[in-house]
Amino acid sequence: MIDIDVHTLGDRIGQEIAVSDWLEVSQARINQFADATGDHQWIHVDAARAATESPFKTTIAHGFLTLSLMSALIRESIQFTGLRMAINCGLNRVRFVSPIPSGTRIRARITTGAVDQIGAAFQVTWHVTVEREHGDKPACVADWLVRYYPLKG
């Protein structure tokens, strides 16, 4: 894990800040996400049907599950110092480039795209590439906006 003072993010534009550890996207995690969101499409939760009818021959993770895991991947990779709170502001661009089959391990490559001062806060556009282990293409590429509020002092 890397330690970064939020005040120095503007000095790191264009730099790859961190590469997360690998995280397995298990069928149990996919099923939990399906339960939480109500998205029980068979391609995600029905292994028998996916084995015969899906072009991937197995179940795959939801695209939105991939996006939601970005938060955990960055949190486990970067320790922000001088930070009071962070707010997810959304996404500018997202592409699901290749599927994540159940049981696949993923990791994130995290690059600082832009840093804008918004009042007392710093809004960072992170360029995040979610890679699949042994994959020839990324699973997802996204521009993610997070607003960081430094400690007052």
CA pair distance 27, 50, nearest whole angstrom: 12
CA pair distance 54, 45, nearest whole angstrom: 12
Length of the chain counted residue by residue: 153
What CATH number should be reported for the domain whose range is 2-150?
Answer: 3.10.129.10
Phi-psi domain of 107 (left: phi exceeds 0; alpha: psi -120 through 50; beta: other): beta
pLDDT value of position 74: 93
Q: Which two tokens stand for residue 111?
A: 């690059």
CA pair distance 81, 79, nearest whole angstrom: 6
CA pair distance 104, 97, nearest whole angstrom: 15
CA pair distance 140, 68, nearest whole angstrom: 12
Concatenating the DSSP letter of every residue in 61-106 gives --HHHHHHHHHHHHHTTEEEESEEEEEEEEEEEEEE-S--BTTEEE
pLDDT value of position 52: 97
CA pair distance 125, 92, nearest whole angstrom: 9
Q: Where are the domains of the chain?
A: 2-150
**Residue stretches of the chain with pLDDT short of 50:** none
